[in-house]
Amino acid sequence: MSSCDLCVVRNRAICAALDSKELLALNAIGRTRSLQAGESLIWEGEDSVLVANVIDGVLKLSTNTEDGREQIVGVVYPSDFIGRPFGGTSGHGVIALTDAKVCVFSRGDFDAFARDHPALEHKLLERTLGELDRTRRWMLLLGRKSAGEKLASFLLELVERLSGAGCRPDTADPSRRIITLPFSRQQIADVLGLTIETVSRQFTRLKNEGVIDLPSRREVTILDHERLVAEAG
Amino acid sequence: MSSCDLCVVRNRAICAALDSKELLALNAIGRTRSLQAGESLIWEGEDSVLVANVIDGVLKLSTNTEDGREQIVGVVYPSDFIGRPFGGTSGHGVIALTDAKVCVFSRGDFDAFARDHPALEHKLLERTLGELDRTRRWMLLLGRKSAGEKLASFLLELVERLSGAGCRPDTADPSRRIITLPFSRQQIADVLGLTIETVSRQFTRLKNEGVIDLPSRREVTILDHERLVAEAG
DNA sequence: CGATCCATTGACTTGCTTCAACCAGAGTGG
DNA sequence: CCACTCTGGTTGAAGCAAGTCAATGGATCG
């Protein structure tokens, strides 16, 4: 039995395409790695020598302009795939936002394995297509939405992905309305293409209007889901 | 011999993964279709019943907010793939910017064919990964760049894609510095997340600074490629 | 109990948008 | 052939949303 069989994302990650024999082979070329919050897995611009599956935690994909402005171009959650198989340098760095566990492969090994397992490539394709859709939706947000709409959209997506992706929301409350942010204010700003001050002001505005509550820096309670949807534009 | 053998993008589109027997089979389920500039191929939000390859012309992928703001989330050139195989509704419309010719397939047919031809799926995966990279680079532009940087970046990408993608630039000039825009000012604004006025002002600024020239509405001459790169930030 | 790190808040500035007028080229018809 | 209009683009002036700069607040941790 491979350690993959015990993997919590076994049935949600691309590995779900494999039977146990194949999984054993994949297991042989991969290894798990733990990352602390803030630690880099891949640096921007290096030729990407590894790919990975997220087992636990949240990581950001980010690019920077030469003069230091940062834009977070993606956020990955458990069962998501990281990296750029089949050639090419990764245009963005990958950094853990929370403590995280990932299952890493050398890119060469993974490429070869994938070519021999069409079912795996198919899963990867589906996942990549989905990610492309999500990314394009994000472009509408970046290009055309106001600060208020951006933050509301962000919170809604976060709720969905934190629950959907299997990181159960950390509350017993039925409507899972309280979420723990894996982001600092600065990181939220970098996702939304805003400054930290603007993010902060929008947070307090939503709070004053009774749409959300802010029990602590890293927690948000959704008080009025409907209004939040309306705010998202 | 299938009509695919005569196709101008035969060796650049995903079809390059197929031998002539397979190509014949693919040919049997597809058909070419001509589009006039402005014509829609896929509407936003419909469940996407077709996929396609671009043979000739330029098309935009765009989304709208409820209140009518538009954001162009992608632009496709000859040999590019259009659509969302394997389920899911397309979150964006596909509209021809120039007169165009595409090779369309019913999504169901294409899905089935793809599953039987891993080499095709592999090509599609590579293409999708590339598109995802490009889209993420665009996010940096939308989120963090100024109007001037946006326009300069836009022109540079356009030059690259118009030549690279095989639509030879329409001039005999060696350094292919003159390009014909497949976009109106409004469409450029919708790509860059700006207003038409801001785009216009940036155009005249670049012109006044001697970086470009504007022989006509739809033409741009790159006079100083280096300065343009610098302007792109 | 300071020191440090984020986040919030306020005052001011600015880059982009908005609103509105004007302009140029292409097509139409008297 | 010239006025007429239509469409898309440019220019100007004014307003505003978000950015910048700077001070304050509140946790957390030696």
The predicted pLDDT at position A45 comes to: 83
B71 — contact with chain A (CB < 8 Å)? yes
Distance in Å, residue B20 CA to nucleotide D6 C1':
51
> Which chain A residues are closer than 8 Å to B148 by Cβ?
none
- Show the CA angle centred on residue B136, arms to residues B131 and B142, nearest 5°: 125
The predicted pLDDT at position B172 comes to: 42
B69 — contact with chain A (CB < 8 Å)? yes
pLDDT of B168 higher than 60: no
Residue in B closest to A82 by C-alpha: B129
Protein-proximal positions, strand D, CB < 7 A: 8-13, 17-22, 28
B208 — contact with chain A (CB < 8 Å)? no
The predicted pLDDT at position A1 comes to: 62
B131 — contact with chain A (CB < 8 Å)? yes
> Which chain B residues are closer than 8 Å to A113 by Cβ?
none
Catalogue all structural domains in chain B, each as residue range(s) with its CATH number. Answer: 3-139 (2.60.120.10), 146-231 (1.10.10.10)
The predicted pLDDT at position A174 comes to: 44
pLDDT digits (tens, 9 = 90+) for B198-215: 999 999 999 999 999 999
Q: Of how many residues is chain B composed?
A: 233
A173: which 2 tokens? 């409350």
A9: which 2 tokens? 């994302």
B127 — contact with chain A (CB < 8 Å)? no
pLDDT of B174 higher than 70: no
Cα–Cα distance, A169 to A178 (Å, whole number): 7
- Mean pLDDT, chain A, as a whole number? 91
* CA-to-CA separations, B220 to A45, B198, B203, B216, B223, in angstroms, rounded: 31, 17, 9, 8, 9
CA distance, residue B139 to nearest chain A CA (Å): 6
Confidence of residue A101 (pLDDT cuts 50, 70, 90): very high
pLDDT of A223 higher than 60: yes
Confidence of residue A46 (pLDDT cuts 50, 70, 90): confident
CA distance, residue A114 to nearest chain B CA (Å): 9
Higher pLDDT, B28 or B167: B28
Cα–Cα distance, A36 to B91 (Å, whole number): 35
pLDDT (mean) for A103-118: 96
B115 — contact with chain A (CB < 8 Å)? yes
pLDDT digits (tens, 9 = 90+) for A196-209: 999 999 999 999 99
> Which chain A residues are closer than 8 Å to B129 by Cβ?
84-86, 88, 128
Q: Where are the alpha helices (DSSP H) in chain A?
A: 20-29, 107-116, 118-144, 147-164, 185-192, 196-208, 225-231
- Nearest CA among A56, A7, A48 for reference residue A27: A7
Question: Inter-chain contact B121–A122, Cβ cutoff 8 Å?
Answer: yes
pLDDT digits (tens, 9 = 90+) for B100-122: 999 999 999 999 999 999 999 99
Give which of B89, B139, B198 to mutate to test A binding, by max A Cβ within 10 Å.
B139
Cα–Cα distance, A140 to A56 (Å, whole number): 29
> Which chain B residues are closer than 8 Å to A142 by Cβ?
139, 142-143, 193
Distance in Å, residue B214 CA to nucleotide D29 C1':
61
Cα–Cα distance, A100 to A57 (Å, whole number): 4
Cα–Cα distance, A80 to B124 (Å, whole number): 19
pLDDT of B177 higher than 90: no
Cα–Cα distance, A104 to A94 (Å, whole number): 13
